[in-house]
C-alpha cells in the first residue's frame, strides 16, 4: 500500500507532529481541519481541506484518494467511529491517535464490509497505546509473575482532552483500585500510593490504581499472575479536581476549566515531564530476574503523534492485518521502540536486553 496519508486535526498539537514525522519520511500528507487557513499553514502539508466532524460529505471528500487516514481530532467521545467509517468507505486504512474500546466497539457492532480488507487501529497514542505496547517487550526475557505499570506526570491538558479525561469512567474503560490476579479483575484491592519516588518520575509523585481495559487485555495476553496499573500525578491538584467532578451530578463539561487549570498549576509547580514505567518480576521460585521498561518525554501529546505516525507507516507497509484493532495489541513493540529511540521527543528510553521473536 502506498499513497497519500490524510491527517484530520493536523493543525493541532498531536496532528502537527504526525504531519511532521510523515513528511520528513517522504510521505505525501493531506491535512484536514475546521480552519482551512490553519490546515494550509501546517509545515509539510501537501494538500489542505476544510473538514468538520459533523459533515459526512466533507469527511468522505477528505478521505477519498488517501491510502491511510489518521485521526487526531477530538474529543474522542464525539469522534467514536465516525472518521473510521468515512475512511473505510473511501478504501483507506485508519489510525486513531486516541480512541478507545468504546470507539472500537462502535465500529465493530455494525462492521462495514470494507473492514474485512482494511485495517483500523485505535488508541495509537501514549495512553492508551504505548502504555500497553511497551510492557510487551518484557515478555521476551521469560515468564512474568507480577507486572507493575506506572504512567503519568505533569503536562498541560487542552479543553478537548479534559472532556475525554472526565468521560473515561465506567467498566468499559477500567476499574478504580482494582488489580488483575489469577485471571480475574479483583476490585477494591489497592490503595493510592502517596508521595512516593518512582524510577523515571520527577520528585515525589502520587500513583492512583486504575486497572484499565488495556491493562486487562495486556495481563491476559502475557499470562501474568498479577498486574497493577497506576496513573501517576505530580501533585494532588488533578486527583482532587477529578474526584470532585466525578462525585457531582451535573454534566462533566462543567468541570473542564477546573481540570485545565489543575494541569496548568502542575506544570507551573513541577515543570513538564511524563513517563511510562513497567516493572516485571519473575514467578516465585523460577530463578528469573526482574526487568523494566522506562520511557520519558517532555510532552505526552506530542509523543502520541510520533506513535500515530509510526502506526500509519506500518499500515502503508502492510504490517497490520485487516480488521479493527487496539494499537497495543497489533503494532510490533520492537519496531515501535526503535522509532521512539530515534525521536528527539524521547528524553530517556530504557529497554530490556531481549532478542525479538
Q: Are 8 and 51 in contact (CB under 8 A)?
A: yes
Rounded CA separation 117/315 (Å): 12
pLDDT higher than 70, residue 354: no
Residue 106: Cβ-neighbour burial (10 angstroms; 0-12, 13-18, 19+): middle
Q: Are 283 and 225 in contact (CB under 8 A)?
A: yes
| pLDDT the model gives residue 171 | 73
Q: Which residues pair with 129 in a beta bridge?
A: 125
What is the arithmetic mean of pLDDT over 314-339?
98
Rounded CA separation 290/352 (Å): 10
Rounded CA separation 293/322 (Å): 29
What is the arithmetic mean of pLDDT over 214-233?
97
Q: Are 17 and 29 in contact (CB under 8 A)?
A: no
Confidence band for 70, pLDDT divided at 50, 70 and 90? very high
State pLDDT tens for residues 258-277: 999 999 999 999 999 999 99
Q: Is the pTM of this model over 0.85?
A: yes
Angle value at C-alpha 223, between 222 and 227, nearest 5 degrees: 85
Residue 107: Cβ-neighbour burial (10 angstroms; 0-12, 13-18, 19+): buried
Q: Which domains does the chain have, with CATH numbers?
A: 4-124+301-332 (3.40.50.720), 130-300 (3.30.360.10)
| pLDDT the model gives residue 355 | 43
State pLDDT tens for residues 158-206: 988 898 888 887 777 899 999 999 999 999 999 999 999 999 999 999 9
Closest-CA residue to 123 (of 345, 356, 326, 338): 326
pLDDT higher than 80, residue 2: no
pLDDT higher than 80, residue 315: yes
Amino acid at each position: 500500500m502506498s499513497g497519500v496519508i490524510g491527517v484530520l486535526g493536523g493543525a493541532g498539537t498531536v496532528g502537527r507532529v504526525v504531519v511532521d514525522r510523515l513528511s520528513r519520511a517522504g510521505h505525501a500528507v493531506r491535512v484536514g481541519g475546521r480552519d482551512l487557513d490553519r490546515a494550509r499553514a501546517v509545515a509539510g502539508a501537501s494538500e489542505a481541506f476544510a473538514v468538520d466532524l459533523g459533515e459526512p460529505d466533507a469527511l468522505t471528500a477528505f478521505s477519498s484518494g488517501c491510502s491511510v487516514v489518521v485521526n487526531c481530532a477530538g474529543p474522542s467521545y464525539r469522534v467514536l467511529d465516525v472518521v473510521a467509517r468515512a475512511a473505510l468507505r473511501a478504501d483507506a486504512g485508519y489510525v486513531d491517535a486516541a480512541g478507545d474500546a468504546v470507539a472500537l466497539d462502535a465500529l465493530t457492532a455494525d462492521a462495514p464490509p470494507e473492514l474485512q480488507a482494511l485495517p483500523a487501529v485505535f488508541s495509537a497514542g501514549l495512553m492508551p497505546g504505548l502504555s500497553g505496547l511497551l510492557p510487551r517487550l518484557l515478555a521476551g526475557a521469560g515468564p512474568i509473575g507480577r507486572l507493575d505499570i506506572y504512567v503519568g506526570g505533569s503536562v498541560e491538558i487542552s479543553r478537548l482532552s479534559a472532556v475525554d479525561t472526565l468521560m473515561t469512567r465506567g467498566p468499559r474503560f477500567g476499574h478504580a483500585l482494582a488489580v488483575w490476579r489469577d485471571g480475574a479483575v479483583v476490585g477494591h484491592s489497592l490503595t493510592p500510593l502517596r508521595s512516593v519516588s518512582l524510577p523515571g518520575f520527577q520528585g515525589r509523585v502520587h500513583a492512583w490504581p486504575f486497572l484499565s481495559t488495556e491493562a486487562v487485555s495486556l495481563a491476559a495476553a502475557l499470562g501474568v499472575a498479577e498486574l497493577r496499573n497506576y496513573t501517576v500525578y505530580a501533585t494532588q491538584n488533578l486527583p482532587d479536581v477529578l474526584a470532585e467532578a466525578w462525585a457531582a451530578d451535573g454534566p462533566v463539561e462543567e468541570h473542564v476549566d477546573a481540570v485545565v487549570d489543575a494541569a496548568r498549576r502542575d506544570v507551573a509547580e513541577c515543570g513538564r515531564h511524563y513517563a511510562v514505567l513497567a516493572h516485571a518480576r519473575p514467578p516465585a521460585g523460577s530463578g528469573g530476574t526482574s526487568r523494566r521498561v522506562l520511557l520519558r518525554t517532555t510532552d505526552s501529546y506530542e509523543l502520541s503523534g510520533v506513535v500515530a505516525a509510526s502506526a500509519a507507516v506500518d499500515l502503508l507497509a502492510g504490517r497490520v492485518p485487516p480488521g479493527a484493532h487496539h494499537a497495543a495489541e497489533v503494532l510490533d513493540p520492537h519496531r515501535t521502540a526503535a522509532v521512539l529511540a530515534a525521536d528527539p521527543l524521547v528524553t530517556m528510553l530504557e529497554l530490556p536486553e531481549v532478542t525479538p521473536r
